[in-house]
Structures are given as structure tokens and as C-alpha cells.
Amino acid sequence: MKILTVPNPILRQKAKVVSKIDGRVTALITAMVKKIDETKGPKGIGLAAPQVGELLRIILAREIKERGKEGELFVLVNPKIKKTSKKTELGIEGCLSVPGLYGFIERPYSIKIEALSEKNRKVKRSMSGLFARIIQHEVDHLDGVLFTDKVKGKLYTAEQLEKLKTQKAFRK
Ligand code: ZN
């Protein structure tokens, strides 16, 4: 399994709804989890199926708790953002499919989502801050949208970003 990078046209296509969580889908999820766990420099905290060449609505997102502590890895099938807060936040994003570049993006601070778990259970959850940002970034991938489409201002290299240091770095 390889992570596709720009300008691969698959990254610009709309992913299909998963109609059934069958053996093939389960195998794909297992492979995606393995892939994100072995992704280093920077470490992956989110991955969408189109990034590995599968046009299905499946995302992985690592929960980020207080002080940036990493929590559980969420598998969300057919995720839908049901509500977004009026309050927005400007934060730094990067993407495994856009290696080495980062930018500032304004997004709703908190969201409410509905999805299915990998075990076909309904998931309803609210999240805020970085975790909400990761999910919004990954859901964008399912619609062929990349963070570079939404960036405010310029794109920075990792080195330039280091120099900024005014905001918490966000890697994905
Ligand atoms: Zn991404």
C-alpha cells in the first residue's frame, strides 16, 4: 500500500459511500491502520482511503487530547459532519499526500459527526480543536478537496514553519 501524492488525479475524485462493511472493506481498513502506524517524519494522524488509491468513504483519525496527547485511532466509515460551530480557529495543517508543505487554514472549532465504526456500529460524536480539524481535513479528502485549496496565505516548508513557532504544528 502506497500513499498517493499530488498531482495524482485520484486525490481529486469523490469517494463512494461504503454500502457494506464486508471482508474487502475490513482488509482495507486493517491495511490503512498498519500504514498510518508506520508513517514517520512527520507521523500520520489522519488518513483517508483515497490517499491509498481506494475511492471509498473511509477515514482514520487519531484523537488528540489536552496538551497534544495522542488517544485512540478512530476508524470512521461514511462519516458525515452534521453540525459545525460558528466559532472558527486558524491552525496549521499538512498532509501525507502533499509532502513537506504546511499552511494555515480556518475551520470550525467544533463539529458533530455521524459515521459507522469498522464493526458497523453507529458512531455519533462531538469533537473540538485539533481532533475536529483532523476529521474535517480527512472528510475533505473524500470529496477530492486538499488542504492547499483552503489555505490562507502561503504554503510553508517544514523549516519555515519551525521558524514561525507561534502556533501549534499540525501534521497529518
Ligand atoms: Zn491529507
Taking only the tens place, the pLDDT of each residue in 134-147 is 999 999 999 999 99
CA distance 6 to 155: 15
> Which value, to the nearest 10 degrees, does the dihedral of the CA atoms of residues 147, 63, 45, 3 take?
-80
Question: Catalytic residue among 118, 138, 159, 162, which?
Answer: 138
The secondary structure of 128-157 as a DSSP string is EHHHHHHHHHHHHHHTT--GGGT-EEEEEE
Give distance in angstroms: CA of 75 to centre of ligand 1: 15
Divide the 172 residues of the chain into consecutive groups of 10 and give the mean pLDDT of each group.
96 98 97 92 88 98 85 95 98 94 96 97 95 97 98 92 67 46
Give distance in angstroms: CA of 145 to centre of ligand 1: 9
Helix (H, G, I), strand (E, B) or coil at 84: strand
Give catalytic status of residue 63 as yes or no: no
Query: What pTM does this model have?
Result: 0.92
CA distance 82 to 58: 17
Q: Among candidates 11, 75, 68, 16, which has minimal Cα distance to 43?
A: 68
Give distance in angstroms: CA of 5 to centre of ligand 1: 10
Give distance in angstroms: CA of 139 to centre of ligand 1: 9
